Chain A
């Protein structure tokens, strides 16, 4: 399987699209737009997983795709939108690092991922290698988003987007045991639930979802 063949090209297209959405996440300025971009990424991830299921003939990956779609394209975004409305948080994402600088850092991260993964996996199939490189880029961009956003919802979405990268890596490696994907998918739900609980509680105690309000509570006094 190589360049110019449909299974390869489509797998690449979907993987690349997931990565593209990671960049889209980085330059959104409104919370609701960030959530929508995350939902799109979840849907694309589901497509990527389903396509891999078709190519590898692995039924389990369809389940992974369905879980990814249900949780990441529908349920989690809905829950986050609800959270934003309930606490009246329709405001900016409050980046700690400017949008332009974040994008440059993002490009650097993606380049870094390619440089690291491609030589290190030289012995494997081309598709698996490039899939891993794309996935690592998504993981790193998710991490970048967690670092460069002060807003709590954005940070949580950074973490969730990072998990998208993990699923992308897992579905790209043929024969990865299913137990893993299921547990990962279930985990994302749990993460979101707990994060939601946190967000709610912090909303109660601070009337704000800005992690900066936490920085004063060092617990140790100055």
Chain B
């Protein structure tokens, strides 16, 4: 019998084979939801297993919450997808390609999160990239082609550097490892203290730049807004909700290895610099966007920057805040893309100027989107408020000037978000191209994400918070 984590990885891939054979939209969408639901059940099942390795996979306190989160976002996204895909006007080839690539992407995400072997982790992120490039390009419009090409070339370059970092990491530990353990994260972390510190440093720089490209950190972010703006809107939800997290966790795994050696250069300032640059650039860039989905793509850069900054500060409290921030961001950002995706369909455009007065024209959608944008701006009582507050606190304790600069960035971004919130949801309603309210399949994912973000912000379940605390202790 295969270990459960392996089933978690292979099940979506088997599902994708089935989906490739299904030309009918309704059938394929239903099977897609079924696959995602089974994966969600499997993710819950993982919590019953003892922590440890199963060959090339590993379950621990760090990846379990993120696997559960990923499968939850995948499930709600597949429901949203079923409700809105008809409007994309796909022919049967695109229906096959889209659903197949969606499940391939999910399997690769679970693999990236669960893998213990750094080689496997790298392959997983690679597969996820290829699948998402296909999904971004599926419309084949010039803008979609450019977005996909940029995504492909920049991320291809990034992950190539990450592979070089992985090779360097292995070369540092080469004499201390046997062929059996190979590139195991646990084994590398165990022997890291005896490795050559300079080689570890060099490896970390490559891993940071490589996986940082995928996590959308400035200055390697430029693929992200375009990739979020083209392709079906479901892609934006899973890119922000899953892919960025998987890349960030890869950076954290690398940080834990390098941090296990006492004489390596401190990796904190590197992460802090990239994080702060991302927050500041994104905060300014938010003011200049005209396209709604690019706008929220830039907001993802800002939030990954905040998380990177928290991990750079280091220590249990800041790391915990960073992990919470990633979880809150995934939940709320995918909710925003559900809302904005439906709104763009109603208004027939995704330009910010063409979408207005949603609360008047479709109250349940408009209010949901308004709350979600407020949550992403860091307003209480959602999880992101708690995590941003904790990050600011940690920054204040580490370096007061850091907290001041971060607060400045957060305020500039927040005002841009509130400005957009008012324009999108209130004000004079623009005419609908496709009138009619939103179905439950749109509203339930949106409001469910908000409810979970609210619950986690107000009263985090004890089990979940004990996991995250243990995870923060593992990374340090």
CB of B196 within 8 A of CB of A122, answer: yes
Contact with B along A157-190 (1 / 0, CB 8 A): 0010011011001100111110110011001001
CB of B146 within 8 A of CB of A214, answer: yes
Which residues from A are CB-within-8-Å of B168? 132, 169
Binds B, one of A8-16, A46-54, A91-99, A197-205: A197-205
Q: Is the interface of B mostly helix, strand, loop or mixed?
A: helix
- Smallest beta-carbon distance A7→chain B, Å: 17
CB of B146 within 8 A of CB of A169, answer: no
Which residues from B are CB-within-8-Å of A187? 123, 126
Contacting A219 at CB < 8 Å: which of B119, B120, B157, B230?
Answer: B230
CB of B171 within 8 A of CB of A159, answer: no
Question: In the complex, what residue of chain B is closest to A156 when comparing beta carbons?
Answer: B153
Question: In the complex, what residue of chain A is closest to B159 when comparing beta carbons?
Answer: A187
Contacting A159 at CB < 8 Å: which of B120, B145, B156?
Answer: B156
CB of B143 within 8 A of CB of A120, answer: no
CB of B202 within 8 A of CB of A177, answer: no
CB of B171 within 8 A of CB of A166, answer: no
Report the bound CA distance from A162 to B177 in whole Å. Answer: 28
CB of B164 within 8 A of CB of A123, answer: no
Report the bound CA distance from A219 to B351 in whole Å. Answer: 10
Contacting A128 at CB < 8 Å: which of B142, B171, B183?
Answer: B171
CB of B152 within 8 A of CB of A205, answer: no
Which residues from A are CB-within-8-Å of B201? 120
Report the bound CA distance from A195 to B202 in whole Å. Answer: 30
CB of B174 within 8 A of CB of A175, answer: yes
Which residues from A are CB-within-8-Å of B143? 217-219
Question: In the complex, what residue of chain A is closest to B181 when comparing beta carbons?
Answer: A177
Contacting A173 at CB < 8 Å: which of B123, B140, B167, B289?
Answer: B167
Which residues from B are CB-within-8-Å of A120? 198-199, 201-202
Which residues from A are CB-within-8-Å of B157? 143, 146, 159, 162
CB of A214 within 8 A of CB of B198, answer: no
Chain B 139-174 residues near chain A, CB threshold 8 A:
140, 142-143, 145-149, 152-153, 156-157, 160-161, 163-164, 166-168, 170-172, 174
Report the bound CA distance from A11 to B196 in whole Å. Answer: 24
Question: In the complex, what residue of chain B is closest to A176 when comparing beta carbons?
Answer: B170
| Residue A155, interface by CB 8 Å | yes
Contacting A163 at CB < 8 Å: which of B119, B160, B174, B226?
Answer: B160
| Residue A88, interface by CB 8 Å | no
| Residue A124, interface by CB 8 Å | yes
Contacting A180 at CB < 8 Å: which of B119, B137, B291?
Answer: B119
- Taking A176-B170, A219-B143 as contacts, is the C-beta distance between A139 and B119 under 8 angstroms? no
| Residue B179, interface by CB 8 Å | yes
- Smallest beta-carbon distance A62→chain B, Å: 17
Which residues from B are CB-within-8-Å of A116? 202
Report the bound CA distance from A218 to B168 in whole Å. Answer: 38
Contacting A121 at CB < 8 Å: which of B133, B147, B171, B289?
Answer: B171
Report the bound CA distance from A180 to B122 in whole Å. Answer: 9
| Residue B294, interface by CB 8 Å | yes
CB of A166 within 8 A of CB of B164, answer: yes
Which residues from B are CB-within-8-Å of A176? 167, 170
| Residue B229, interface by CB 8 Å | yes
- Smallest beta-carbon distance A87→chain B, Å: 16
Chain A 110-163 residues near chain B, CB threshold 8 A:
116-117, 119-124, 128, 132, 135-136, 139, 142-143, 146, 155, 159, 162-163
CB of A217 within 8 A of CB of B146, answer: yes
Which residues from B are CB-within-8-Å of A163? 160
Contacting B196 at CB < 8 Å: which of A123, A165, A221?
Answer: A123
Report the bound CA distance from A85 to B199 in whole Å. Answer: 45
CB of B160 within 8 A of CB of A121, answer: no
CB of B148 within 8 A of CB of A136, answer: no
Contact with B along A202-222 (1 / 0, CB 8 A): 100110000100100111110
- Smallest beta-carbon distance A138→chain B, Å: 10
Question: In the complex, what residue of chain A is closest to B150 when comparing beta carbons?
Answer: A214
Report the bound CA distance from A146 to B199 in whole Å. Answer: 27
- Smallest beta-carbon distance B235→chain A, Å: 15
Report the bound CA distance from A216 to B148 in whole Å. Answer: 15
Report the bound CA distance from A123 to B176 in whole Å. Answer: 13
Which residues from B are CB-within-8-Å of A190? 130
Which residues from B are CB-within-8-Å of A183? 119, 123
| Residue B182, interface by CB 8 Å | yes
| Residue B419, interface by CB 8 Å | no
Contact with A along B179-209 (1 / 0, CB 8 A): 1001100000000000010110110000000
| Residue B290, interface by CB 8 Å | yes
CB of B290 within 8 A of CB of A166, answer: no
| Residue A20, interface by CB 8 Å | no
CB of B145 within 8 A of CB of A169, answer: no
Contacting A194 at CB < 8 Å: which of B130, B171, B294?
Answer: B130
Pairs across A and B, CB under 8 Å, 15 listed? A117-B202, A119-B198, A121-B196, A142-B160, A173-B167, A176-B170, A177-B117, A177-B119, A179-B120, A179-B182, A194-B130, A198-B149, A201-B137, A218-B146, A220-B290
8 tightest Cβ-Cβ pairs between the two chains A and B: A219-B143, A123-B196, A177-B182, A217-B142, A120-B198, A120-B202, A180-B119, A214-B146
> A121-B196, A176-B170 given. 18 additional CB < 8 A pairs?
A121-B171, A122-B196, A128-B174, A162-B157, A169-B167, A169-B168, A173-B167, A174-B174, A177-B119, A177-B170, A180-B166, A187-B123, A198-B152, A206-B142, A217-B143, A217-B145, A217-B146, A220-B289
